Amino acid sequence: MEIINFIKQYIKNPRTVGAIAPSSEKLAYRMVEDINFLNATCIVEYGPGTGAFTEKILNKKKNSTIFIVIEYNIEFYQILKEEFKDEPNFILINGSAENVKEYLSKYNIDKVDYIVSGLPFASLPEDMSKRILSSTKEILKYKGEFITFQYSLFKMKLFKTYFGKIKRKKVHLNLPPAYVLKCKN
C-alpha cells in the first residue's frame, strides 16, 4: 500500500517527490544512528513522505523532545497525520521546508539540534534548494547536524557552500543505493 501511494505521488509530482519508492529500513537506520536522542530538545524533519525516517525518530525520541515535520505533499501529509495522531510533541506541517524559520517561530523555537531531510535536492529547483539550505544553516545549534541522503554526489558542491564539515557513508541496501551526508556548520 505504502509503495503504491508513493509511486502514484511520484507520477503526479516527479520533481518534488524525487524517488519511486520509500527509503529502505537500512537507509532509515543509517540516517538516525548518530542522533543523540537523550540530549536533543528539538528535531526537524523535511520531506517525510510516507514516514520511513519519521517512524524511527518517533520510536527513539524522548516524549519531551519537540519533533517538527514539514511535508509539502498533501496526500503524504494526510497519511502521516492519521498514522501519528497520538504522538506527544509531534508537530506535522503541510508546507515547504523553505519556510522552516516561520514555522519554528510559531513555537518560539530559534535553533534546533538536528534536521533530518528526505528532500530530493537533485530534482528540486536550485533556488528552492538554496533557500532551504540557507535557513537550515541558520537554525542549526552550534553542534547541530543536518542529515540528508542523496542518490548521487552531484550536489556535494552545493552542500559544501553551506556546511564546513560533511561526513558521508554509502548505503547499498536501498533502491537505488544512496549516500547519507552528515553536515555541520
Ligand X SMILES: C[S@@+](CC[C@H](N)C(=O)[O-])C[C@H]1O[C@@H](n2cnc3c(N)ncnc32)[C@H](O)[C@@H]1O
3 vs 156, which CB is nearer to ligand X?
3
- Judged by CB, which is closer to ligand X: 46, or 163? 46
Please state the separation of Cα 30 from the chain's center in Å.
Answer: 13
- Distance in Å, CB of 96 to ligand X, minimum: 4
Distance in Å, CB of 51 to ligand X, minimum:
7
Query: Cell match 525520541: residue?
Result: 61
Q: What minimum distance in Å lies between the beta carbon of 30 and ligand X?
A: 11
- In whole angstroms, the minimum distance from the beta carbon of 142 to ligand X comes to 25
Which of 71/113 has CB closer to ligand X? 71
Q: Which is nearer to ligand X, 49 or 144 (CB)?
A: 49
Positions in the binding site for ligand X (CB under 6 A)? 16-19, 22-23, 46-49, 52-53, 70-73, 76, 96-98, 118-120, 124
* Phi, psi dihedral angles at 9 (to 5 degrees): -70, -35
Cβ at position 23, least distance to ligand X in Å: 3
Task: Name the residue nearer to ligand X (CB basis): 118 or 144.
Answer: 118
DSSP the chain: -HHHHHHHHHHH-HHHH--SSPPPHHHHHHHHTT--TTT-SEEEEE--TTTHHHHHHHHHS-TTSEEEEEE--HHHHHHHHHHTTT-TTEEEEES-GGGHHHHHHHTT---EEEEEE---TTTS-HHHHHHHHHHHHHHEEEEEEEEEEESSSTTHHHHHHH-SEEEEEEE-SSSS-EEEEEEE-
